[in-house]
């Protein structure tokens, strides 16, 4: 089996190298692409669209009423710590096969008009020497929007049935950051189901109300604590200028856990804004305070929350994006404890010779635990970071190939949650 995987690895490397040399030797005309609007309901699909434009693949300037895309992705990956363990590390080669189907109806690109979009991707992980780690992952995404005269309504449904450890998993939803769930640690099966309903109503030419309701179910295996979150928000928005919108509002919700007397209520006072000064720069952000009460009645907590993002395209073929967030989550691994998660991620991409894209993504996450009642003493703190450089080449308009390197490391005051892991892989994709 190892010899077969080694042959596949060698063949894929050779194919990628040959086409990389061929592509970089060619000079082609710059391909124009339509302006891509910011996808507010799903960052992963928007990132795919931005990368398609960055790499120079053609994008239609007109909105097609119906469109589809079928992508077949294959990667060969070496992982030196498959189980994300602090000791007794297991290393192996594995093949990742991921067909993906996107069906769209209406304005799925800019998303200013009515649209309906479905995305589905099953991923098959096949290990060379440890078949007990073989897995099937699934990611599904449904989004829709409809305009009335003054009212706009939307719906998003995300489903992620995932095995932690897979750094190439699409980042749609849930508690997995770059293929890792820091709270639970190790290699685990985590199923996440999330529903998002939204509505916006125009009051005047410059003011409008917006509201959203969310439901999320996180289903763990292996004796961990499953959880549900139900929340809603309401904002009053004011368009200060054509480039700046500010808003004030509040959020309320409830965390429901499958532990006795462990449910929690929370409320947030929020301010948010979106700023789009030029076609090259846009930014949005939410800040506020969260007030949390526990069913035990023992104590309340108050903590700052934020969700910030910005993107900048200084030149043709160059893009930079930054995301930061802070919030409170219930722990699935430690009974009677919550944690404050602070995250930061930055990505830079540069197109070369119209066909080659170099990218670098780096991120950091801090988990600071606290007791959900006065009798629980929490002393765990984790600091996790990752870095991923990659190269991707457009061989033809429908054939792509690339290679990537991933290093992930977590240091924890609980040593059994600490780990470091390195993955090296090559990948290819066909798009129809």
pLDDT of residue 387: 96
| SS3 assignment, position 365 | strand
pLDDT of residue 221: 78
Distance CA 102, CA 279 (A): 27
* DSSP character at residue 404: E
The answer to whether residues 56 and 393 touch, using CB atoms and an 8 Å cutoff, is: no
Distance CA 389, CA 94 (A): 20
Q: Which of 261, 224, 229, 217 is nearest to 372 (CA)?
A: 261
| SS3 assignment, position 200 | strand
The answer to whether residues 429 and 72 touch, using CB atoms and an 8 Å cutoff, is: yes
The answer to whether residues 364 and 343 touch, using CB atoms and an 8 Å cutoff, is: yes
| SS3 assignment, position 111 | coil
pLDDT of residue 30: 26
Half-sphere exposure of 227 (CA within 13 A, CB side): 21
Q: Which of 75, 103, 24 is nearest to 358 (CA)?
A: 24
Please name the residues in contact with 6: beta carbons below 8 A apart, sequence gap of 6 or more. 93
Distance CA 426, CA 422 (A): 14
Distance CA 179, CA 96 (A): 14
The answer to whether residues 35 and 123 touch, using CB atoms and an 8 Å cutoff, is: no
The answer to whether residues 390 and 424 touch, using CB atoms and an 8 Å cutoff, is: no
| Tokens matching residue 38 | 């910011």
Could you state, in order of their start, the residue ranges of all structural domains in the chain?
Answer: 2-431
pTM for the model stands at 0.83
| Tokens matching residue 19 | 């086409």
Q: Which of 371, 275, 287, 373 is nearest to 324 (CA)?
A: 287
* DSSP character at residue 259: S
Match 């404050």 to its residue by tokens.
340
Q: Which helix (H) or strand (E) holds 282?
A: strand 281-294
The answer to whether residues 255 and 264 touch, using CB atoms and an 8 Å cutoff, is: yes
pLDDT per residue of the chain (432 residues) written in tens, 0 to 9: 444 444 444 444 443 333 333 333 332 222 223 322 333 334 455 555 555 555 554 444 445 689 899 999 999 999 999 999 999 999 999 999 999 999 999 988 888 899 999 999 999 999 999 999 999 999 999 999 999 999 999 999 999 999 888 888 765 444 556 778 999 999 999 999 999 999 999 999 999 999 999 999 999 977 899 999 999 999 999 999 999 999 999 999 999 998 877 899 999 999 999 999 988 999 999 999 999 999 877 778 999 999 999 999 999 999 999 999 999 999 999 988 999 999 999 999 999 999 999 999 999 999 999 988 777 889 999 999 999 999 999 999 999 999 999 999 999 999 999 999 999 999 999 999
* Chain centroid to CA 140: 13
Cα dist from 359 to 349, 398, 418, whole Å: 4, 20, 27
CATH of 2-431, one of 2.60.40, 1.10.3470, 2.40.160, 3.40.50: 2.40.160
The answer to whether residues 128 and 93 touch, using CB atoms and an 8 Å cutoff, is: yes
């Amino acid at each position: 089996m190892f010899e077969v995987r080694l042959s596949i690895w060698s063949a894929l490397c050779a194919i990628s190298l040959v086409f990389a040399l061929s592509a970089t030797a060619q000079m082609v005309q710059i391909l124009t692409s339509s302006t891509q609007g910011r996808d507010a309901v799903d960052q992963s699909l928007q990132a795919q669209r931005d990368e398609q434009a960055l790499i120079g693949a053609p994008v239609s300037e007109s909105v097609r009423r119906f469109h589809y895309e079928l992508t077949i992705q294959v990667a060969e990956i070496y992982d030196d710590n498959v189980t994300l363990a602090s000791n007794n590390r297991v290393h192996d080669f594995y093949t990742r096969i991921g067909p993906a189907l996107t069906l769209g109806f209406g304005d799925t690109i800019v998303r200013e008009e009515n649209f309906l979009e479905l995305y589905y991707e099953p991923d098959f992980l096949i290990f060379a020497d440890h078949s007990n780690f073989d897995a099937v992952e699934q990611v599904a995404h449904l989004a829709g929007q409809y305009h009335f005269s003054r009212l706009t309504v939307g719906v998003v449904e995300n489903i992620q049935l995932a095995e932690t450890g897979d750094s190439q998993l699409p980042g749609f939803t849930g508690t997995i950051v770059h293929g890792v769930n820091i709270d639970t640690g190790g290699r685990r099966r985590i199923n996440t189901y999330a529903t998002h309903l939204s509505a916006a109503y125009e009051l005047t030419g410059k003011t409008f109300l917006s509201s959203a309701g969310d439901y999320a179910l996180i289903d763990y295996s292996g004796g961990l604590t499953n959880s549900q979150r139900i929340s809603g928000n309401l904002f009053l928005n004011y368009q200060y200028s054509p480039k700046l919108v500010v808003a004030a509002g509040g959020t309320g919700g409830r965390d429901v856990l499958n532990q006795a007397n462990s449910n929690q209520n929370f409320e947030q006072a929020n301010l948010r804004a979106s700023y789009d000064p030029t076609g090259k720069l846009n930014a949005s952000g939410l800040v506020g305070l969260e007030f949390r009460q526990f069913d035990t009645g023992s104590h309340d907590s108050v903590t700052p929350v934020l969700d910030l993002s910005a993107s900048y395209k200084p030149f043709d073929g160059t893009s930079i994006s930054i995301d930061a967030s802070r919030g409170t989550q219930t722990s699935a691994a430690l009974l009677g404890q919550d944690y404050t998660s602070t995250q930061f991620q930055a990505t830079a991409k540069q197109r070369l010779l119209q066909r080659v894209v170099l990218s670098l993504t780096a991120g950091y996450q801090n988990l600071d635990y606290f007791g959900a009642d006065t009798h629980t003493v929490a002393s765990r703190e984790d600091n996790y970071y990752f870095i991923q450089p990659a190269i991707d080449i457009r061989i033809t308009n429908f054939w792509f190939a690339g290679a990537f390197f991933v290093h992930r490391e977590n240091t924890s005051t609980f040593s059994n949650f600490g780990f470091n892991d390195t993955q090296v892989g090559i990948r290819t994709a066909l798009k129809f």
